[in-house]
Amino acid sequence: MEDRLLVESVQRGVDSGALERGVLMSRSEQLIGHFQALTASALAELSLDRTLDAFIESALKFSGLDTCNFWLLSENGRELTRAAGGCTGHESGADFCPERIPTDVGVLGSVIQ
């Protein structure tokens, strides 16, 4: 039913003449589809490590960045702990790429506050 409503809605838009032509799957839509497939696959396994690895792979592919991290808030709420990801190259030092960040320090900490 949901697919039929979507197709009917798209058809009404096409029939309106507002668009001269369209692309079925643009590059960004393909990346979103890839992200959704990886997410579904990772969540099916219910393994946090594998799920985070899949999210990182998708985020890197989707964003075009070379580094991605996932942070979890500690139970006491005082620090963020890197759960997955890391830094590469010259940026891999402990000062630049720590494993833990107090929630009252830096950009990530300010987001938590």
Report yes or no on 78 lying in a domain. Answer: yes
Tens digit of pLDDT per residue, the chain (113 long)?
Answer: 556 776 777 777 777 776 666 655 566 777 778 878 877 776 776 677 877 887 888 888 877 777 888 888 889 988 888 888 877 655 555 566 788 888 888 777 777 77
54 lies in the same domain as 71? no
With 0-12 / 13-18 / 19 or more C-beta atoms within 10 angstroms meaning exposed / middle / buried, residue 34 is middle
* Measured CA distances, 94 to 44, 58, 79, 86, 91 (Å): 34, 25, 16, 11, 9
Is residue 12 in some structural domain?
Answer: no
Contact 82, 69 (CB under 8 A): yes
The pTM assigned to this predicted structure is 0.48
Beta bridge partners of 85: 69
Same domain? For 58 and 83 the reply is no
Same domain, residue pair 43 and 73: no
User: Is 106 a domain residue?
Assistant: yes
Tell me, yes or no, whether 92 and 109 share the same domain: yes
Q: Is residue 100 part of a domain?
A: yes
Domain extent, residue 57, equals: 26-65
Q: Are residues 113 and 74 in the same domain?
A: yes
Q: How many domains does the chain have?
A: 2
- 51 with 80, same domain: the answer is no
End-to-end Cα, the chain, rounded Å: 44
